[in-house]
């Protein structure tokens, strides 16, 4: 005998009885945590970490300032050349394979740095830690965020960037302590253990390349695929996986298409200018500010002020990225960078140097959020690693050139003013370019 179910029947006239979907945990937040950890642990290849090792390693290896700096500069340029290829590997194999592999390579490279005994070994060691740390691991982190978030991509990128901000604030202090207590060789070995322990196994077990791989969608929100239905308007069941692939393909540009698009070069002017000008200012900060009667202790302390403010302002910048056109935000960042240099050029009161650091921090916060996601927002997800890798390569090369204008200015004219004039004009030119960088239409690609 059949027994009728006593469960309430949902009807249109009885909205209370309609069952509601149960919210489940969105794995994108786990990916966001891994991305933040990856940015934090990229420290072995970052300038702020290597700077702590400079004097102990140079003294221990018997190297001059020029020899040590040349090795670091060579590694920086070579890493810039390698980043586009790493981006292509990310697009092909995904972060689930590539990120733990990068972490393993970085851990081995840190261990090898502890064994360096000569200048050729230093060249080789720097090349690997710069390529895998500064370039590959950071690129993989942002790639992962870009795949899992769309509507909240700006804020998600800012949250992941918190790992990089915390790294700037804490890793140099921890590294300095480790070198003082254990020596620089042991400090590199400690870095190797930390990177391997926190990234390799957790990354391999927890990372999923895209939400579509497990039947989900970016942000955990199912998009409207109606535009990919039959043109005749007939009703049919839409395969979510096929529709997701169709949408991703329709919105994505290849590297060849991107390089032919004038908008790409307009956008590229912003990170390239920010990297060149920012590196030039930071590299010569003590001497530059000293020429304006700023004590050396202030100049060094303001680096922390800048880092803290940049990290704090990343969240408002991420919020703005999700709500306003990226070109307007990038335009504003270039105006801020130009204003910071103008302030130094005509510094009326010494204490206003704090405002200079805050302006640089504000520009840096936009660089971490808007400038990090503009490539995927403009050119789609399918080839985001390759496209972003091209942009990142240009940015790293620009940062390698940054200290040169300041050095030439002081050597040739015995003044920092010519370099500051240049650093005022360059962001203004980039601002003018990016103002016209409207989101391109793929149909217009040639």
Q: Are residues 158 and 204 in the same domain?
A: yes
**The domain boundary residue, chosen from 193, 213, 233:** 213
Is the CB of residue 175 less than 8 Å from the CB of residue 187? Answer: yes
Q: Are residues 99 and 145 in the same domain?
A: yes
Q: Which residue in this structure is represented by tokens 């040739």?
A: 412
**The domain boundary residue, chosen from 161, 195, 213:** 213
Q: Are residues 156 and 298 in the same domain?
A: no
- pTM greater than the 0.85 cutoff: no
Written as six digits, the tokens of 424 are 């005022």
The answer to whether residue 104 is domain-embedded is yes
The answer to whether residue 446 is domain-embedded is no
Overall number of domains in the chain? 2
Q: Are residues 251 and 298 in the same domain?
A: yes
Q: Are residues 347 and 418 in the same domain?
A: yes
Q: Are residues 258 and 196 in the same domain?
A: no
CA dihedral 165, 43, 160, 33 (to 10 degrees): -130
Q: Are residues 139 and 283 in the same domain?
A: no
Structural domain containing residue 390: 246-440
Which secondary structure element, helix H or strand E, spans residue 399, and what is its range?
helix 384-401
Give, in degrees to the nearest 5, the angle at Cα 87 between 82 and 93. 120
The answer to whether residue 238 is domain-embedded is no
The answer to whether residue 220 is domain-embedded is no
**CATH value at residue 434:** 1.20.1250.20
Q: Are residues 319 and 278 in the same domain?
A: yes
Q: Are residues 130 and 199 in the same domain?
A: yes
The answer to whether residue 239 is domain-embedded is no
- Classified as helix, coil or strand, 329 is helix
**The domain boundary residue, chosen from 192, 213, 234:** 213
The answer to whether residue 363 is domain-embedded is yes
The answer to whether residue 221 is domain-embedded is no
Separation CA 389–CA 399 (nearest Å): 15
Q: Are residues 204 and 276 in the same domain?
A: no
Give, in degrees to the nearest 5, the angle at Cα 40 between 77 and 199. 100
Per-residue pLDDT of the chain (446 residues; tens, 9 = 90+): 444 434 344 443 444 333 444 457 899 999 999 999 999 999 998 888 887 888 889 889 998 878 888 888 888 889 889 999 999 999 999 999 999 999 999 999 999 999 999 999 999 999 999 999 988 999 999 999 999 998 889 899 889 988 988 888 888 889 989 999 999 999 999 999 999 999 999 999 999 999 988 888 888 887 665 554 544 454 444 555 555 555 565 578 888 999 999 999 999 999 999 999 988 888 788 888 888 888 888 887 887 888 889 888 988 998 999 999 999 999 999 999 999 999 999 888 888 889 999 999 999 888 888 888 899 889 988 888 899 889 988 988 888 888 888 888 888 898 889 999 999 999 999 999 999 999 888 754 44
The answer to whether residue 236 is domain-embedded is no
Q: Are residues 293 and 193 in the same domain?
A: no
Q: Are residues 51 and 138 in the same domain?
A: yes
């Amino acid at each position: 005998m059949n027994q009728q179910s006593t469960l309430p029947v949902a009807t249109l006239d009885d909205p209370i009885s309609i069952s509601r979907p149960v919210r489940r945990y969105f794995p994108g937040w786990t990916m966001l945590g891994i991305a933040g950890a990856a940015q934090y642990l990229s420290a072995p290849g970052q300038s702020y970490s290597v700077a702590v090792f400079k004097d102990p390693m140079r003294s221990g290896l018997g190297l001059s300032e020029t020899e040590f700096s040349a090795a670091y500069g060579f590694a920086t340029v070579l890493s810039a050349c390698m980043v586009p290829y790493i981006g292509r590997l990310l697009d092909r194999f995904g972060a689930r394979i590539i990120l733990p592999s990068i972490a393993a390579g970085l851990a081995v490279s840190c261990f090898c740095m502890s064994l360096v005994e000569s200048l050729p070994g230093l060249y080789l060691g720097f090349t690997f830690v710069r390529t895998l740390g500064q370039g590959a691991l950071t690129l993989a982190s942002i790639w992962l965020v870009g795949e899992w978030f769309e509507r909240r991509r700006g804020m998600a990128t800012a949250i992941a960037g918190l790992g990089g901000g915390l790294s700037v604030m804490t890793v140099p202090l921890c590294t300095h302590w480790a070198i003082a207590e254990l020596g620089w060789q042991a400090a590199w070995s400690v870095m190797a253990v930390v990177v391997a322990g926190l990234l390799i196994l957790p990354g391999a077990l927890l990372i999923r390349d895209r939400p579509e791989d497990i039947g989900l969608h970016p942000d955990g929100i199912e998009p409207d695929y109606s535009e990919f239905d039959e043109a005749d308007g007939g009703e049919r069941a839409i395969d979510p996986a096929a529709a997701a692939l169709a949408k991703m393909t329709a919105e994505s540009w290849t590297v060849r298409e991107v390089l032919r698009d004038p908008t790409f070069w307009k956008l590229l002017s912003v990170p390239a200018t920010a990297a060149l000008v920012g590196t030039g200012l930071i590299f010569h900060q003590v001497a530059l500010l000293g020429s304006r009667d700023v004590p050396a202790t202030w100049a060094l302390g303001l680096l922390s002020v800048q880092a803290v403010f940049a990290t704090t302002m990343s969240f408002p910048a991420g919020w703005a990225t999700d709500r306003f056109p990226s070109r307007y935000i990038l335009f504003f960042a270039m105006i801020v960078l130009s204003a910071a240099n103008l302030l130094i050029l005509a510094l009326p009161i010494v204490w206003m140097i704090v405002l200079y650091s805050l302006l640089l921090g504000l520009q840096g916060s936009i660089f971490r959020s808007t400038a990090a996601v503009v490539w995927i927002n403009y050119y789609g997800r399918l080839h985001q690693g390759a496209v972003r890798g091209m942009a990142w390569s240009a940015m790293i090369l620009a940062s390698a050139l940054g200290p040169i204008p300041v050095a030439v200015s002081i050597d040739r004219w015995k003044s920092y003013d010519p370099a500051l004039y240049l650093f005022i004009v360059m962001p203004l030119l980039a601002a003018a370019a990016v103002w016209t960088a409207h989101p391109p239409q793929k149909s217009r690609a040639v």
